[in-house]
Amino acid sequence: MSEEVKVGEIVKFFAKPSVAAIKVTEGIKVGDELHYRGATTDFTEVVESMEVDNKKVAEAATGSLVGIKVGERVRPGDTVLKTS
CB atoms closer than 10 angstroms to residue 29? 13
**Which pLDDT value is given to residue 27?**
96
CB 43 within 8 A of CB 55: no
CB 22 within 8 A of CB 8: yes
Q: Which of 83, 82, 65 is nearest to 20 (CA)?
A: 65
**Which pLDDT value is given to residue 1?**
55
CB 46 within 8 A of CB 20: no
Domain count, the chain: 1
pLDDT (tens digit, 9 = 90+) per residue, 38-67?
Answer: 999 999 999 999 999 999 999 999 999 999
Domain of residue 14 covers 4-83
Instruction: Assign residue 26 the CATH number of its domain.
Output: 2.40.30.10
DSSP state of 4: E
pLDDT (tens digit, 9 = 90+) per residue, 1-49?
Answer: 579 999 999 999 999 999 999 999 999 999 999 999 999 999 999 999 9
CB atoms closer than 10 angstroms to residue 10? 22
